[in-house]
């Protein structure tokens, strides 16, 4: 059985094979880890169906390990009902990869006094730059500040670093290898970040949303529970009556004129 044949299977099928062969921790393994664990325990010459779905459904019987007797093979488990969780627990899905295979250095502003930096350097890039920097080159993170660059010795294997900075300034960083003669050999360059001021904002032109004082009266007119109208005519109703009065004077009438209806409403004012 070759790795290419296993690569043609999905992660679900590989985990099913790993479960039948008694590989512990298969539910949390990535595809490459599953293939690496399955290859040593699958006997040479055992075939896997070309269709990956057929592999999971067929429950192909394979020897547990090279040299193991057939009596020590694990029995094939039956299908698990849909409403019953698997013995291995819920499927966690695809794991978050530890690396993405690209060279990058990213700066994130944490607050006015701190910046968080994280990076990834591929082995190919590191080997190429290390060949130029020479043996025993130091790993350094250079922070470009408004007053000039600052160097910090780091461990590239850490993957991240916290930087103390000043507020209200722009920063950029780079990771390099520093040779014995002090020459810097860049590995990755970061983005620019701007730290905020350490204090209240000086802006005074902010517009805040105000609350309409007649909003509760609108809720009362809508008949919502807990918003019963007052005994006297509300300001909102008075405005509606005044609007009807204006339209009535313009000649709008139907049955009882708008002017008459508005007069009736206005007669209910407390001061009327």
Residues sharing a CB contact under 8 Å with residue 137, sequence separation 6 or more, in sequence order = 130, 177, 178, 179, 180, 185
Q: What distances in angstroms separate CA 163 from CA 17, 106, 151, 183, 192, one per listed residue?
A: 47, 12, 11, 23, 14
Complete domains list, the chain, with CATH: 3-72 (no CATH), 104-194 (2.60.40.10), 215-266 (no CATH)
Q: Shortest CA distance to 112 belongs to which of 172, 171, 191, 197?
A: 197
If pLDDT is split at 50, 70 and 90, which confidence band does 115 have? Answer: very high
Q: What is the pLDDT of residue 61?
A: 38
Rounded to a whole number, what is the distance in angstroms from the first to the last CA of the chain? 99
- pLDDT digits 0-9 by tens, 100-113: 889 999 999 999 99
pLDDT for the residue 80: 52
Percent of the chain whose pLDDT exceeds 70: 63
Render pLDDT for 136-184 as a digit per residue (tens, 0 to 9): 899 999 999 999 999 999 999 889 999 999 999 999 999 999 999 999 9
Tell me the pairing of strands 160-164 and 184-189.
unpaired
Residue of 174 and 198 predicted with greater confidence: 174
Judge whether 125 and 157 are in contact, CB under 8 Å: no
Q: What is the pLDDT of residues 20-35, one digit of tens each?
A: 777 878 777 888 777 7
């Amino acid at each position: 059985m070759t790795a290419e044949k296993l690569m043609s299977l999905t992660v679900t099928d590989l985990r099913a094979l790993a479960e039948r062969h008694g590989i512990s921790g298969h539910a949390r393994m990535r595809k490459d880890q599953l293939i690496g664990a399955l290859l040593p325990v699958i006997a040479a010459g055992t075939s896997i169906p070309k269709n990956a779905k057929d592999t999971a459904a067929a429950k192909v019987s394979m020897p547990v390990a090279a040299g193991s007797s057939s009596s020590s093979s694990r029995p094939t488990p039956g299908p698990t009902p849909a409403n019953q969780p698997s013995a291995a627990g819920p499927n966690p899905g695809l794991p978050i990869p530890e690396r993405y295979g690209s060279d990058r250095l990213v700066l994130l502003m944490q607050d006015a006094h701190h910046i968080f930096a994280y990076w990834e350097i591929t082995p190919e890039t590191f080997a190429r730059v290390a060949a130029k920097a020479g043996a025993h080159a130091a790993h350094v993170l250079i922070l470009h500040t408004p007053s000039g660059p600052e160097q910090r010795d780091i461990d590239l294997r850490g993957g991240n670093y916290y930087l103390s900075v000043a507020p209200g300034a722009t920063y950029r960083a780079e990771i390099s290898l520093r040779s014995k003669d002090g020459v810097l050999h860049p590995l990755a360059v970061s983005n620019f970040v701007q730290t905020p001021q350490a204090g209240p904002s000086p802006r005074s032109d902010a517009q805040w949303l105000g609350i309409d004082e007649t909003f509760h009266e609108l809720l009362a007119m809508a008949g919502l529970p807990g918003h019963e109208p007052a005994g006297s005519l509300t300001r909102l109703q008075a405005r509606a009556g005044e609007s009807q009065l204006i339209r009535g004077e313009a000649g709008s009438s139907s049955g009882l004129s708008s002017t008459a209806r508005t007069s009736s409403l206005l007669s209910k004012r407390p001061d009327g």
